[in-house]
Structure 1
Amino acid sequence: MTTGADLENGVVFVNRLDAFRHFAEFSGPTQSQLHIRPLHEYVTSRLVLEGGFRPSELSPRPPLRTEKTGNLRRVIFAPQERTRTEATILGGLKTKKVDIVVSKDGIGPVLAISCKGMTGAVRNLTNRLEETIGECTNVHLSYPTLVFGYLFLMRANREGEDTLLTDAVLDSQGRPLEGIVRFHQALSGMIGRLSARNDASRYEAIAMTLVEVSPARAGEINEDYPPRGSAIHFDQFVDTIYRRYDERYVVSAPLLARRTRRLEWSGDSPAFDAEPLQRLDYRPRVAA
């Protein structure tokens, strides 16, 4: 079991399995947000390495920095550069701290991802839906062009496995309980925002993920639910975020493209030789 001490001891979370395993095994109070912070670091690192955003554009900042020599841009593993500070956005209804924000100089927030995790108390899912809709609407009212993603993790607790009945999301056969199916259906109806003129209460992308908790599989994604064909399966989440961003800030805004186009990194970037980056679950955005 983890308690959050690893976050204070220099451990970095740049790959999915480590971040998800921390969430699955965390035993401290969830109010501290320590159960979900490694997910923030994984996502921000991925937005740089795979997404081509500058580390300095991200809040919180991942353990990376960049340097430019001629036409080559290199990314460097730099744990001392990481921060834990979330960005505060002036929403249409109230100011709001958002878990992950990408901001461009002279433009403002262009991309945001809300990362949430539920370790139990499945009965509170209705409240989660209300919060989810409210957060999206609030941010889009002030920043209608912002690409907003919602990443939601749940522990794949099964009935009868030393799990409180109120914490179970799967039955003893591994099938999703009715409340989880309804939650999946509700989230599936909240995606599909293709342009700034669409419904402010819809997200550009959502991922709902059940994380295995058994010692042998802790941190792995449950393979059965949501099914691969689900519109909110994790495998589709990041690609959808990138696609919406490129459509909105590069293709549809050619005059801004010099500032908004996603970067490519040199293949000899020192970061790619750093030990923590040897087990990435995605391919860095490397220049041809």
Structure 2
Amino acid sequence: MLSYEPDCAEGGEATILGGLKTKNVDVVVTKEGLGPVMAVSCKGSIGAFRNLTNRMEEAVGDCTNLHITYPALVAGYLFVMRAHRQDAFDAAALAEPADAGSEKRAIGQNDIAIQLDGAPVESVVRFHNAVRELTGRRGIRNDVSRYEAAALALVDTTSAAGQVLSTFPTEDSPLRIERFFETLYQRYDERYVYSAPDLKRITRRREWSPASPIFDRELGQPVLDYAARISADVATNDED
């Protein structure tokens, strides 16, 4: 069972021994006796989308480096960028000239992600297409340069600030953020649970107890924005 212990949380990245060098990764799941079984790299860009080519090179190298040492590792790549809109940029430029003495970073034309017609700019589309070719790794003997799952999220900066755009990537894209964790969990279960039933006691995914205080609204716990994995039996036996 999972338990809610916020005081046990720590910040920082985890260091994984790669085939070429050690790598600090944002989110790492480690299992006793197996080592790292899942790793998620989180990247982002606030603008200057002409530099996305450099990010692609980093993504390929990081994934290859980790899979050389841990072929069964389930690797994820999550990239978030600000969806600066052309119309908002034009309106701001007309309403208030840039203040040369301001410490706030000015948004330039190269930072625009969404055109006037609502479509993404060409550099963002190219980046999406490149990342799409880096995802979809299914088996441990597949291309080590591919991620098991990847996602691209454009975050609105205008009226719905903080919300992920629903129009891009498109519904049929494998990079939709809604599919990201689902795919990671599926690859994990295939490799570490279904293919290794003798290790089930160690590798199976943990569940929340329905009696956990995390679900007690009277304690002031935050409302979850996802569906929690709740156990059907409070007294689940690890030997089943």
Show the 5 A alignment for 1:146-225: 146-162=73-89, 163-214=107-158, 216-225=159-168
CA contact (8 A) 1:74 1:270 kept: no
Structure 2 residue runs of 5 or longer lacking an equivalent are 90-106, 233-240
1:78-103: CA deviations, max 9, x gaps?
33221112111110000110111000
CA contact (8 A) 2:2 2:206 kept: no
Aligned pair count? 213
The whole-number CA distance in structure 1 between the counterparts of 2:207 and 2:14 is 25
Structure 1 residue runs of 5 or longer lacking an equivalent are 1-72
Show the 5 A alignment for 1:31-70: none
C-alpha RMSD of the superposition: 1.2
* Moved beyond 4 Å, runs of 4+: none
Q: Which residue of 2 aligns with 1:145?
A: 72
Aligned-pair CA distance for 1:218: 1.1
CA contact (8 A) 1:209 1:234 kept: yes
Amino acid at match of 2:136: G
The whole-number CA distance in structure 2 between the counterparts of 1:235 and 1:118 is 20
1:203-228: CA deviations, max 9, x gaps?
000000100111x3111111111112
1:236 and 2:179 aligned = yes
Percent of aligned pairs with the same residue? 51
Q: Which residue of 2 aligns with 1:277?
A: 222
CA contact (8 A) 2:215 2:221 kept: no
Aligned-pair CA distance for 1:282: 1.2
Name which one, 1 or 2, has greater alpha-carbon Rg: 2
CA contact (8 A) 2:63 2:147 kept: yes
CA contact (8 A) 1:74 1:268 kept: no
**TM-score scaled to structure 1, two decimals?**
0.72
The whole-number CA distance in structure 1 between the counterparts of 2:22 and 2:152 is 26
CA contact (8 A) 2:75 2:148 kept: yes
1:19-56: CA deviations, max 9, x gaps?
xxxxxxxxxxxxxxxxxxxxxxxxxxxxxxxxxxxxxx
The whole-number CA distance in structure 1 between the counterparts of 2:122 and 2:65 is 30
Query: Secondary structure of the equivalent of 1:180?
Result: helix
Q: Which residue of 1 aligns with 2:35?
A: 108
Aligned-pair CA distance for 1:276: 4.2
Q: Paired residue for 1:98, among 25, 28, 35?
A: 25
Query: Secondary structure of the equivalent of 1:75?
Result: coil
